Amino acid sequence: MRTRLRWLIGSVTVVGCIWAGVRPVLATPASGFTSTSLAVGRVGDFAVMHTLVLDDGSANCPAGQPPSPRPASFFVPTRDCLGWVPMNHPLAVAQNVWQSTQNTKGDSDLYVQSNVWVAGGTTGWHTHPGHSLITVTAGTVTAYEGNEPTCTPKVYTVGMTFVDEGGDHVHVIRNEGAVEARTITVQLLPAGATRRIDASANPACSF
């Protein structure tokens, strides 16, 4: 009986050691961070594309070429300056073009969030089911990516905007400065979806 008891105790000890060695990396909660919804609205599916030719390259063409008028705002001169083609045409020579495309299927929820970090505050590791546009309005924030093998920081200061892709793009945003930091964030998410999803920490990061 005594021998069997020793065997049981030894088995529990071994199992306990194995479990301790393989325990998963747990999600990290937010600390010193507050996110407040300023506005939330629902919108149906939509497809929007905008193109603006800032410099169509026509200044490099001989006078009178290509012939006027330009067929549409997204047309640019051909390489030989003899005609106009859409900016994505192989013969296009546009010097500076801005383009934006947004295409959704199904209803979406649009969030406008006010985010505040005290000095040393953190969002904790997390993701969102859609993308976010984040603008720093006070202080400095530092972002880390969940799949970055060297835990390289990306620092953003007042007036800078950055994009959080969402989905499987896990990240954490920290205030590593000595003063309060603030951002305004616009998020487009699937209608009714949970806005924030906690995630496991990047093992390459020591914090």
Q: Torsion angle, CA of 145/173/177/183, rounded to 10 degrees?
A: 130
Give residue limits of the domains in the chain. 26-46+107-198, 48-103
Note the CATH number of domain 26-46+107-198.
2.60.120.10
Locate 127 and state its tokens: 């993701």
Torsional sign, CA 135, 153, 187, 124: negative
- d(C-alpha 80, C-alpha 184), whole Å: 47
Q: How far is C-alpha 204 from the geometric centre of its chain's CA atoms?
A: 20
Residue 123 near residue 33, CB atoms below 8 Å: yes
More confident: 196 or 15: 196
- Residue 192, φ and ψ in degrees, nearest 5: 80, -5
Q: Does the structure show a pLDDT above 80 at 11?
A: no
- d(C-alpha 65, C-alpha 6), whole Å: 95
Q: Does the structure show a pLDDT above 70 at 180?
A: yes
Q: Does the structure show a pLDDT above 50 at 18?
A: no
| Mean local confidence (pLDDT), 185-191 | 98
Q: What is the DSSP letter of 82?
A: S
Locate 81 and state its tokens: 């300056």
Q: Does the structure show a pLDDT above 50 at 14?
A: no
Q: Does the structure show a pLDDT above 90 at 86?
A: no
Picking from 15-29, 44-58, 165-179, which range would have the lowest pLDDT averaged per residue?
Answer: 15-29
Locate 175 and state its tokens: 């205030």
More confident: 97 or 139: 139
Write the single-letter amino acid at 167: G
Write the single-letter amino acid at 148: E
- d(C-alpha 16, C-alpha 121), whole Å: 34
Locate 179 and state its tokens: 């003063």
Q: Using one digit for the tens of pLDDT, what is the confidence trace for 97-138?
A: 888 999 999 999 999 999 999 999 999 999 999 999 999 999
Q: Using one digit for the tens of pLDDT, what is the confidence trace for 23-48?
A: 344 568 999 999 999 999 999 999 99
Q: Does the structure show a pLDDT above 70 at 206?
A: yes
Give residue 15's pLDDT band: very low, low, confident or very high (50, 70, 90).
very low
Give 126-191 as a 3 state SS string.
Answer: EECCCEEEEEEEECEEEEEECCCCCCCCEEEECCCEEEECCCCCCEEEECCCCCCEEEEEEEEEEC
Express as a percent the part of the chain with pLDDT over 90: 64
Q: Is the pTM of this model over 0.85?
A: no
